[in-house]
A = this chain, B = another copy of it.
Amino acid sequence: MRIVIPLYERFTALDAVGPYEVLSRLPGASVVFAASSPRSVRTDTGSLALVADAAFAEIDACEVLVVPGGPGSRDAVLDPALVAWVQALHQTTDWTTSVCTGSEILGAAGLLRGIEATTHWSRVDALESFGATYTARRVVVQGRVVTAAGVSAGIDMALTLAALIAGSDVAKAIQLGIEYDPQPPFAAGSVVAAGPAIVELVRGGAATR
């Protein structure tokens, strides 16, 4: 089972690595990171690069496509080669998925028109501009299109997908393998839980890059 994860400049690392860490553990899984050419691709912070071993042009089919998000997705949706490749690959997949603003790239490829989808909580309008209906659910399954909310939601999405692909016992074994028994020290992971003051901190960029 081939799982393809495209990278582009200024993607968010955890968007890609969360699902990779889960899906690479599926029996028979083979994960390929791809980019416009085989090269290292810098994340949004500039302090990390991941290696894409394959060029988009080398890959014309896969079972699972996982499109990460990040600040760079604003440029990526305007890259006709990337968008056309996503569109073409989607014709071959069992599952076409996104994490965070990766859903905008699915949107640009026309894959979200008239369906429910999710994205990072700060980018709802951008998502809906592609004809999707935003829902605040963390993982949204619509036929074979699966979108996840911001960044860390890719882990929950991938476990959901693992169960759909290989059954719940395999998904549970993967969850135990990565000891995913989350215990965040605060209840601040959603807009509602965090409250307006923390939302303002994030929007202002004061506490985060």
Contacts and interface: CB of A to CB of B under 8 A. Distances in A.
A142 interface: no
B31 A178 contact: no
A47 B24 contact: yes
A152 B179 contact: yes
Interface stretch (A59-67, A74-82, A185-193): A185-193
Chain A, interface size category, equals: 35 or more
A180 interface: yes
Interface of A is mostly: mixed
Contacts of A49: 50-51, 53
Interface in A21-74: 21, 24-25, 27, 30-33, 40, 45, 47-51, 53
A126 interface: no
Nearest to A175: B188
Interface in A172-209: 172-186, 188-191, 193-194, 197-199, 201-202, 206-209
Interface of A: 12-14, 17-18, 20-21, 24-25, 27, 30-33, 40, 45, 47-51, 53, 100, 120-121, 138-139, 149-153, 155-156, 159-160, 163, 166, 168-186, 188-191, 193-194, 197-199, 201-202, 206-209
